[in-house]
Amino acid sequence: MSDFFERRLSGYDEHMLANIDGAEEFYSFTARLLPDHQGCSILDLGCGTGLELERYFALCPTARVTGIDLSHGMLDALESKFPDKDIRLICGSYFDLPFGVDEFDAAVSVESLHHFTMDEKIPLYSKLCEALKDGGYFILTDYFAESEEDEKLCRQKLQQLKAEQGISDSGFYHYDTPLTAEHECEALKKAGFSSVVVLKSWGPTSIIKAAK
């Protein structure tokens, strides 16, 4: 996965903004949903080059942001954009890293989590829920399957591509396998979030708010 994003780094921001339906709007919309009080603490899962953080820091320049990403190159690009901001960047997988307990006012993830199954997401979301302070919440802006049938077809296609290329079941191959928004909400509720709502959609991208 990190190799894939290292290769796409050049022109990445322009590509995202020009080629994903509604991107110009949903990055700003996502930023506006995050807390904006002095020194609030935010966790960004799969922060990449920080497209969501550009909009967010414009609204809340004093935020303290922890960003996690697998790709060194993406994190280097992010760091160079915000030399004067309070950012802690961690290169690694959000599945493996500890997030702490009662640490963050909110968490956000944009266009990063659409490769994983419900079984993989539930423990991740439980860890995330625990890392949020009371009253904290998670804003998930991602790409979702239109129907259960599409969700299944994407999974089957991934299995087929892996088999053709001799990649084991546990090996990673970059092919989008989004859940439906309904299944994503189910995963968040099973992980312990108390209220989960889809706030808005732009084509296949929706924003889900999950409150602790």
* Residues that bind ligand SAM in the complex, under the rule CB under 6 A: 1-2, 5, 16, 46-49, 51-52, 68-71, 74, 93-95, 110-112
Coil, helix or strand at residue 122 = helix
Provide the minimum distance between the beta carbon of 199 and ligand SAM in the complex, in angstroms, as a whole number.
17
Task: Select from 57, 209, 62 the least CA-distant residue to 132.
Answer: 209
15 vs 152, beta carbon nearer ligand SAM: 15
149 alpha carbon, distance to own chain's centre: 23
* Closer to ligand SAM by Cβ: residue 89 or 181: 89
Tokens of 106: 């909110």
Considering the complex, what minimum distance in angstroms separates the CB of residue 204 from ligand SAM?
Answer: 14
Residue placing its CB nearer to ligand SAM in the complex, 74 or 185: 74
Q: Are 42 and 63 spatial neighbours (Cβ–Cβ below 8 Å)?
A: yes
- Quote the least distance from Cβ 194 to ligand SAM, whole Å: 25
Q: Select from 172, 66, 163 the least CA-distant residue to 120.
A: 172
Q: Closest separation between CB of residue 33 and ligand SAM, Å?
A: 15
Do residues 189 and 196 touch, judged by C-beta distance below 8 A?
yes
